[in-house]
Structure 1
Amino acid sequence: MLKYLLILPLCIASVLEVLSKEEILRKPISLVYFYAPDCRFCTDVTPAVDYLSSIYNHNVNFQIVKVNGRKLKPLVQLFEVASFPTLKIYDNDKKSVTTYSGDRLIDLIDDFIAKHSDAQADLTNAITRVHSLTSLEQLNDLAAAKGVVIAFMDSTTPEWKHMTRPFHYFQELAQQNPHLAFATAELNKVDSKVVREFRVSNSPSLVFYDGQTVGVLGTFSANEVVDDEQTIRFTNLLTSKSIGTWFSNLAELQTHADEAEYVDTILLKPGMNAMAHSAKDFEEDIEGQYEQLLGKISL
């Protein structure tokens, strides 16, 4: 069974609270969230609805609203709400009410919205604690402020393809650790100076940097897996430094990585073995062709 979503990015404002049936009818289709202030399960759902409201309420024909079921019992009775929390979509054109019955996960509620409306999400309206890293100057500012955990990735990395969505584990880690800065660095967008600074040659990979101490996981070793479990462990164990490779400063990391490029087995940059074999095969092929040519012209 899918877990409930507990942590979400911060949103610009909470979902609109309505006080009457007329406010629900302001737009043709409404997702109505019935909650109660004393409902402990609602504390899990409210951030999800707030987030969805921030990315959907720009639509002309669709809105997300919430109803305090303790105060507005006539609306609770009208929509036949039996418990809290409850999510229902009301279509004023069809005069129909559809009750959501899935797990309390944003992506599933999002699917519910898509199934019963043509509303389009605008993800640029969502606020997140995860920075998009593009420059060395930005990196140094984040590191100096409180230390930063950076995820280096590219658009084809399966584990990180939902990075911009609030249910991604990196987004949750950012919410759970407000004392740290979190950033992603897309290898095709970030300044190459950042990549060179940490000798990054793997994706996905992680770096912790506070302006002095550096911790890395998977940056220059193809033998380390960076998935949800490892990312969470790396972040939660920064103090003990029990996962990853740690250096006192950047110069120490750079020396280690530069020397490791010449080791045959462990820390070669990803692809270097394959490139070396390819180059060797090419050289042998050219040499063979040259011998054949000499034979043909009797030299």
Structure 2
Amino acid sequence: MKYSISLRSALVGTVGLLKLVSASSVIDLDPSNFDQYVGGSKPALVEFFAPWCGHCKNLAPVYEQLADAFDPSKVVIAKTDADGEGRDLGQRYGVQGFPTLKWFPAGSTEPVDYSGGRDLDSLANFVSKESGVKSRIKPPAPPIAVQLDSSNFDDIALDPTKDVLVAFTAPWCGHCKSMKPAYEIVAKAFAAETNCIVAQIDADAEDNKPIAARYEVRSFPTIKFFPKGNGEPIAYSSGRSEAQFVEFLNEHCGTSRDASGLLSTQAGKVLALDEFASTFFSASLPDRPEILNKARDYLVSTFGSAKKEANTTAEYYVKAMERMLSKGEGWLVKEQARIAGLLASPSLAPTKLDELKIKANILSSFVAKKAEEVYEEAADVVKGATESVESFAEKVKDEL
């Protein structure tokens, strides 16, 4: 008997817990309680649904979030089964399809049809606008992609000194919403590239429609690349993942970034100076000054009149050679370790990260040839050992 009572208590407790966990903030209406919630001192949004309706099932989790987003003492978020207990209510308000959403102002049983989007933001914005009650939804972070409109489109997208990728989107477009996270990641990754801009425009906004028409935008999202020099825009037809956007921008902007925003392992490197660097590191000490002088001559002849950034980057090859001549090869190991430690710091400014990454890339050029020589030596040893074993095996075989 004690066991039965304990089991019953446990079942009652479990059922109570399940009810608590599954409690909904959406008020269920039927003809018996409709007047209690609708037409009183609080405005109400009512969903007329049917249990078998696929669109209603898709809306259900969003509608629950909507109810949680508003203070129930100020706004009523409710629903009624207009194909079941609430059939009479559905007929009273002329419901002909599911789901139907109607807004009842405070003190009124004469509703206004809701015809906006069924995403959380659209619903919450409607309720806030009609009721004057702020939702509990935290505002989204400001977009990272440069925002274009009719007032700044030509100044940014058609800037002859910049490459600009433009996504023509619409707020209601599902594909645009699906693309947005990847597009924002890429915009953040290229934020340090002042001449390679990742931008977006609401092409369905009334003021921006003439721009969309100018570039024959007929669907969303449409993505176009505007190259520097005011050339004709290029239609973007690759995929919409971070990696695919990054690959496209690196190819068309001449950049060297990955989706995290870091420069690639080739950024800042100069092929001819790579060869000088690896030859310098592999050479004997007496031969290194001559190689350094050749690198200096190449630097002057090639970058003497080039832009400052390229010249500064190339100069680091020569500076590294000078440091190794005066301080020995140990300087290279210490400098690589120092830079690696700084690159791991989360507080560095993007420009400083770029500078350090380029230095790390250049320093890696010094050991490349040496590593190749070590590998070749190791391969020769393995090959020689293998040949010796095979020779010994043949000898043993002949003796047997």
Range into which the TM-score falls when normalised by the shorter chain: 0.3 to 0.5
> Which structure has the larger Rg over C-alpha atoms?
2
| Higher helix content, 1 or 2 | 2
| Higher strand content, 1 or 2 | 1
